[in-house]
Amino acid sequence: MKKLKLDLRNFENIEVLTRNQLKNVIGGSGGTGGGTSGTCIQWYYFPSNPIRHTSTFTVSGTCGQQSAGMNSLCVSLIDNGIVSRCGYDCACDGWGS
C-alpha cells in the first residue's frame, strides 16, 4: 500500500464555509506542476438562473497557486451570494482533473 504524505499549510485568517457552501465548490486537484501562468475555466450558476455560465481566465503562478486562486474566487462568489454554485478547471493539472 502506498503511503500518503500530508502537506500541512497555514490557513490563518480564512473564513470557514458552512457545509452547504462547501457542497457548492467543485474544483481541480491543486497540483504542484511548474509554469508561470495558465488557463483556467470557471463555471457557475446564478441563484435566479439555472443556466450554466462559464468564464475563461489566464492565471499566474504555479499550478497549485492557479488552482488556489480559482478556488478562492469561487468561495468568494458563493459567500457573497453572487452565485449559487461554482467550479473551476485548470489546464496545468490536466483538463478534468
Question: Does residue 90 carry a pLDDT above 70?
Answer: yes
Mean pLDDT of 19-48: 68
Residue-wise pLDDT tens digits, 39-65? 899 999 998 888 889 999 888 888 888
For the entire predicted model, the pTM comes to 0.61
Residues in the chain: 97
How far is 84 from 6, CA to CA, in rounded Å? 31
- DSSP string for 8-77: ----TT-PPPPHHHHHTEE---------SEEEEEEEEEETTEEEEEEEEEEEES-HHHHHHHHHHHHHHH
Q: Could you tell me the pLDDT band of residue 26, with boundaries at 50, 70 and 90?
A: low
Using alpha carbons, select from 76, 78, 79, 73 the residue that is nearest to residue 88.
Answer: 73
The residue that leads in pLDDT, 18 or 4, is 18
Q: What is the DSSP letter of 79?
A: H
Report the pLDDT value the prediction gives residue 29, as an integer from 0 to 100.
46
Report the pLDDT value the prediction gives residue 74, as an integer from 0 to 100.
92
| C-beta of residue 42 within 8 angstroms of C-beta of residue 25 | no
How far out from the chain centre does Cα 57 lie? 12
